[in-house]
Amino acid sequence: MRNLERKIIGLSVLAGLFFWVMDAVLDYFFKFPDEDFISLLLFDAPYHDFIIRPFVVMVFITTGLIIAKVVTISKIAEARYQTLFDNMEEGVFVFPFGAEELGARFSDVNATACRKWGYSREELLQLSPEKLVLLDELPEIPLVWEKFKVDQHILFETILVTKGGARIPVEINAHKVQLDDQPHVLAIVRDITERKQRREEIRRLASFPQLDPNPILEVDTSGRITYYNLAAQETLKRLGVEEMEAFLPKDLPEILRAAQKGDVTQFHREKAIGGALFEEFIHFVPLYNVMRLHPADITVRRQAENDLRRSEQQLRVLTSRLFTIQETERRRISGELHDELGQALLYLKLQMGAAGAKLRKDQTALKKNCEGLIQYLDGIIENVRRLSRDLSPTVLEEMGLPSAMKYWLEEFGKYYNVKKIDVDIERIDDLFSPRVQLNIYRIFQECLTNIGKHSQATQISLAVRKQDGRVAFTIHDNGQGFEVSTASARKSSTKGIGLATMAERVRMVGGILEIHSNKGMGTQITFTIPTDVRRKPEDALKDDSEDPPLQNSLG
């Protein structure tokens, strides 16, 4: 386009210069024959020529500039039109509207038409509509053409043949238009292969409800059943129910009102029919203004769920009783350690001391052996005393829960050489029943046991916080940590029962257990217990066995 502008401007300049020369020639031959031509052309022209000649030259140049601009704008508009024309998603065919009917050659086609039907532009311009349409197989085309002549617009579907012989279903939107003062047909051709496939898919899917083994019903806005499949009919027959309305939920009017308002479009109900239980999924289809019901027989599933729930409840009762029996056995063993082994060790210590006192002064070696044995017996007695305290919650009952937790944390620190212990306990006296306190005490003991076995921690902190009817117990250590997900995923035969026992005890008192840990990052265990658990039904299950009396600690 720039070259065209330059040519037009150049021609305008040449035209102006030609006028200048011709004016000088006319002056030389007719007005001033005695003057020198070059002088008349450039230096000695009459005064009026010095005004007229530049003016006319400027007129020629200005006209050339205007013409160049107009041509450029026209070319740009033509290029834009051609770009839009060629880049339409649909194929566009233009052919004369005349006496030749469908035999007239195409006068224009776009690039999309060429690409979709496999022809070059030159090849398509040598063809006519009848070459692309199978007139022999589609006898309705002439009738469509006659209708188009009357209405001058038509929308219809047909089949066009590509250069390779493929048949493509299309939708043709044809209009009568005026081009160059001549009537033409502008046909926009859209490939509807995907639409045809979707229609076929819809047609195929439309048969699914009838073939579905589960009942399907359709209800209009008045609550009347407008459709039901064979499975719905057979289901009612099997249950000995005659009325199809047995599937409709009792609150169907409310459901319909809510659906029509647009508040809710999907609903879920359960309904007993003829001794069977159905789970009904209901959804509103605004497009058709109908409600569709999909009842599914869940009788067997619900029975299995109830059986599982009863089994879980029985397992929880058994677990509760096992913990009660465990506490009883711990108390018994604690008593045995104190009354039998503890007393026997104490008697042995006294006898050893008495025997040492009877030795002569020259029996120094024997005296040292006796003293060493007595010290050894002291260590054994201390270990027995510690085991007895671990097994029996004597410290808890004598000192209360907060003091017992502090005591055990300090004792743990001494035994496992923990360098730093932080304790921050809010007042929680009288917030829990004795039974719940015992469970909290055992959970805390299990936490310390796990830290001692696996953590290798040098710092431990305990925080107890009250929060809206609950109490949160948090134990944090700086030990080696572990991957919680990995530990939880292990088989029961390869993982310990410590975490499982803690989780079960927390669940028994209605609490929540959270464990956060990573390798090398320490471990934080938080269990949150509601303060009203003393009235939980599971406590009643555990109250059927009284605890034995506590034994005194050794020493």
Of residues 140, 139, 172, the one with CA closest to residue 154: 172
Q: Say what the pLDDT of residue 53 is.
A: 67
CA distance linking residue 170 with residue 399, whole number of Å: 91
CA distance linking residue 200 with residue 194, whole number of Å: 10
Q: Say what the pLDDT of residue 552 is.
A: 33
For every residue of 237-260, which 3-state class applies, written as one string? HHHCCCCHHHHCCCCHHHHHHHHH
Q: Say what the pLDDT of residue 366 is.
A: 80
For every residue of 431-458, which 3-state class applies, written as one string? CCCHHHHHHHHHHHHHHHHHHHHHHCCC
- Under a CB-based contact definition with an 8 Å cutoff, are residues 186 and 175 in contact? yes
CA distance linking residue 141 with residue 170, whole number of Å: 13
In the predicted structure, residue 241 carries a pLDDT above the cut 80: yes
Of residues 460, 369, 470, the one with CA closest to residue 413: 460
Q: Say what the pLDDT of residue 261 is.
A: 81
Q: Say what the pLDDT of residue 356 is.
A: 75
Neighbours of 553 (CB within 10 A): 16
Q: Say what the pLDDT of residue 36 is.
A: 64
CA distance linking residue 505 with residue 547, whole number of Å: 18
Q: What confidence tier does 207 reach under pLDDT thresholds 50, 70, 90?
A: low
Half-sphere exposure of 318 (CA within 13 A, CB side): 6
Q: Which tokens hold the place of 120?
A: 């070059």
The proportion of the chain whose per-residue pLDDT surpasses 70, expressed as a percent, equals 80
Q: Which DSSP string do the residues of 371-389 spell out, in sequence order?
A: HHHHHHHHHHHHHHHHHHH
In the predicted structure, residue 392 carries a pLDDT above the cut 70: no
- Under a CB-based contact definition with an 8 Å cutoff, are residues 542 and 509 in contact? no
- Under a CB-based contact definition with an 8 Å cutoff, are residues 420 and 478 in contact? no
- Let me know how long the chain is: 555
User: Which of 156-165, 235-244, 493-502 has the highest average model confidence (pLDDT)?
Assistant: 235-244
CA distance linking residue 295 with residue 277, whole number of Å: 9
Q: Which DSSP string do the residues of 474-513 spell out, in sequence order?
A: EEEE-S----HHHHHHS-TTTS-SHHHHHHHHHHHTT-EE
Q: What confidence tier does 32 reach under pLDDT thresholds 50, 70, 90?
A: low
**Lowest-pLDDT choice from 86-95, 376-385, 467-476:** 376-385
Burial of 334 (0-12, 13-18, 19+ CB in 10 A): buried
Give the tens place of pLDDT for each residue, 497-518: 678 888 888 888 889 999 998 8
Q: Say what the pLDDT of residue 541 is.
A: 38
pTM: 0.43
Burial of 203 (0-12, 13-18, 19+ CB in 10 A): exposed
Q: Say what the pLDDT of residue 46 is.
A: 65
CA distance linking residue 537 with residue 130, whole number of Å: 87
CA distance linking residue 227 with residue 206, whole number of Å: 13
CA distance linking residue 448 with residue 525, whole number of Å: 11
The whole-number average pLDDT for the span 412-427 is: 86
Which domains, from first to last, does the chain contain? 2-84 (no CATH), 89-198 (3.30.450.20), 215-297 (3.30.450.20), 400-547 (3.30.565.10)
The whole-number average pLDDT for the span 195-205 is: 76
| Mean pLDDT score of the chain | 79
Ramachandran bin of 417, using left for φ above 0, alpha for ψ from -120 to 50, beta for the remaining angles:
left
CA distance linking residue 91 with residue 190, whole number of Å: 6
Q: What confidence tier does 537 reach under pLDDT thresholds 50, 70, 90?
A: very low
257 vs 315, higher pLDDT? 257
Ramachandran bin of 211, using left for φ above 0, alpha for ψ from -120 to 50, beta for the remaining angles:
alpha
Q: What confidence tier does 544 reach under pLDDT thresholds 50, 70, 90?
A: very low
Q: What is the dihedral of CA 492, 537, 311, 544, to 10 degrees?
A: 90
Of residues 252, 300, 249, 308, the one with CA closest to residue 277: 300
In the predicted structure, residue 109 carries a pLDDT above the cut 50: yes
In the predicted structure, residue 339 carries a pLDDT above the cut 70: no
Q: Which tokens hold the place of 73?
A: 């704008």
In the predicted structure, residue 525 carries a pLDDT above the cut 90: yes
The whole-number average pLDDT for the span 300-304 is: 89
Residue listed under structure tokens 């013409």: 67
**Lowest-pLDDT choice from 288-292, 344-348, 388-392:** 388-392
- Under a CB-based contact definition with an 8 Å cutoff, are residues 330 and 391 in contact? yes
In the predicted structure, residue 320 carries a pLDDT above the cut 80: no
CA distance linking residue 352 with residue 371, whole number of Å: 8
Q: Say what the pLDDT of residue 225 is.
A: 92
What interhelical angle do 434-450 and 498-508 show, nearest 10?
A: 160
Q: Which tokens hold the place of 259?
A: 């659906």
Give the tens place of pLDDT for each residue, 362-371: 777 887 888 7
Neighbours of 306 (CB within 10 A): 10
Neighbours of 417 (CB within 10 A): 7
Cβ neighbours for 113, distance < 8 A, ≥ 6 positions apart: 91, 92, 93, 119, 124, 189
